Amino acid sequence: VQESFEIVSSSGNYAVTIGRDLLAGVVALDPNAIFLIDERLQNALPPSAVKRIVVEAAESRKSLEVMPEIILALREHGANRSSHLIAIGGGVIQDIATFAASIYMRGIRWTYMPTTLLGMADSCIGGKSSINVLGYKNLIGNFYPPEEVVIDVDFIRTLDAEQVIGGLFEAVKICYARGQRPFADYLAEGPTWPLAADVAQRLLTRSLRTKKWFIETDEFDQKERLLLNLGHTFGHALEAATDFGVSHGVAVGIGMLIAIDYARRRDRLTGKGHECAAQLEEHVTTMMNLVVASGVQWPDVDLSKVMQKFDNDKKHRSDVYRVVLPIGDGALELISEPRDDITREHLHASYAAVFAGLGIAMRAEAANALA
Ligand SMILES: NC(=O)c1ccc[n+]([C@@H]2O[C@H](COP(=O)([O-])OP(=O)(O)OC[C@H]3O[C@@H](n4cnc5c(N)ncnc54)[C@H](O)[C@@H]3O)[C@@H](O)[C@H]2O)c1
Ligand SMILES: [Zn+2]
């Protein structure tokens, strides 16, 4: 059985449908549609879908420099103001589609079918795009939600453990951010690897209905939605310091562990908060062990480089670091920490403790710096 709900947005409402075997229906709906599809998935499209723009889902492709190619391809397929773009792929394809659809002839209709768990659980709603410019990641972007989001959970079958669990980390982040009850309900669905289609559908429904509350309450990232950055500032530093040798979802999982360790280290949790945070920590650790068991190799990490990347994050202010932490009874808050040596020592200690716990090797330079 499939499920549908609506997202209310200032640029128009859009429907989200989650189910199995939905691709054929989407293709049949509009014979004139132009497809923007991940190269890896193009065989999933029936031959009747003739207008195709095939893109390699590489970070280097979601850049401003590549946009002229996409725009030109749209033009060559005869796209006009009433054309309909159907994007099929993960976050890279989503970002390209959002941006291209928003600017082509001042904006055309588009539909999104996410095919990675990260896309399905999190990024497919909210309407954001992030585009790289001349090597700078996610430097520009906009809001341009699709007209419809169609999630076909059958795409999950070909994803590996790291991709699935990384997506689940975004899902659990959303549910934890909403409170104890949504978090408990999420865990009760039994997120694990391998992920059965019916369990996936229930987890995705919970994650997206919960994210719906955040984006409808705070469409443009002013307050509540910022809590969805849990794990992200810590995680981005790790991604950047390893040249993206750690995938985004897994880095977010590690980032959540660091946020918990840091909150504990700075005595920010009360009795109840310790319990909630420990529950999240235990769940993330269990899932991380499944990633490791699947054969993922951690890159060696230079901790001083991670700290430097953390320090450079554009979300901080000149005098304070800004991080989302579980505070008090365990609820999340966006916290400002003084940008001083004491904070940095504790941050360093949290990174080192979490890396050691996961068996992530720290390079000699970092080990010396610790001594
Ligand atoms: N716009 C947003 O709100 C938002 C949010 C989070 C992340 N992002 C962006 O998304 C990107 C990462 O997202 P992602 O992990 O979904 O990215 P992705 O599109 O890079 O996909 C990751 C890999 O999975 C492959 N893949 C896709 N679907 C598959 C399937 N069904 N089976 C097997 N392989 C499949 C792709 O070919 C690619 O190699 C980053 O560029 C990030 O900045 C955007
Ligand atoms: Zn994320």
Q: What is the pTM of this model?
A: 0.96
pLDDT on residue 368: 54
User: CB count, 10 Å around CB of 109?
Assistant: 17
pLDDT on residue 104: 98
Q: Is the CB of 59 under 6 A from ligand 1?
A: yes
* Nearest Cα residue to 335 out of 254, 262, 253, 251: 262
Nearest CA to ligand 1 atom 4: 123
Cβ-Cβ contacts under 8 Å for 32 (sequence gap 6 or more):
51, 83, 84
Cβ-Cβ contacts under 8 Å for 95 (sequence gap 6 or more):
62, 129, 130, 131, 141
pLDDT on residue 5: 98
Ligand at shortest distance from the CA of 89 = 1
Token pair 């480089």 in the structure block, residue: 305
Evaluate the CA torsion angle 311, 313, 317, 322 in order and state its sign.
negative
Gap from CA of 369 to ligand 2 centroid (Å): 30
pLDDT on residue 370: 54
Ligand 1 binding pocket mutation candidate from 56, 118, 165 (most atoms within 8 A of CB): 118
Q: Is the CB of 123 under 6 A from ligand 1?
A: yes
Q: Which residues of 12-28 are buried (b: 16+ CB within 10 A; e: fewer)?
A: eebebbbbbebbeebbe
Q: Is the CB of 109 under 6 A from ligand 1?
A: no
pLDDT on residue 363: 85
How far apart, in whole angstroms, are the C-alpha atoms of residue 98 and residue 183? 30
Tell me which residues of the chain have a pLDDT lower than 70. Answer: 364-371
Ligand 1 binding pocket mutation candidate from 63, 92, 156 (most atoms within 8 A of CB): 92
Q: Which atom, in ligand 1's list, is nearest to the CA of 166? A: 15
Token pair 């590549």 in the structure block, residue: 66
pLDDT on residue 371: 46
User: CB count, 10 Å around CB of 122?
Assistant: 25
Gap from CA of 170 to ligand 2 centroid (Å): 6
Peptide bond into 194 cis (omega under 30): yes
Q: Which atom, in ligand 1's list, is nearest to the CA of 93? A: 19
User: Would you state the torsion angle of the CA atoms of residues 306, 311, 312, 314, taken in this order, to the nearest 10 degrees?
Assistant: 120
pLDDT on residue 31: 87
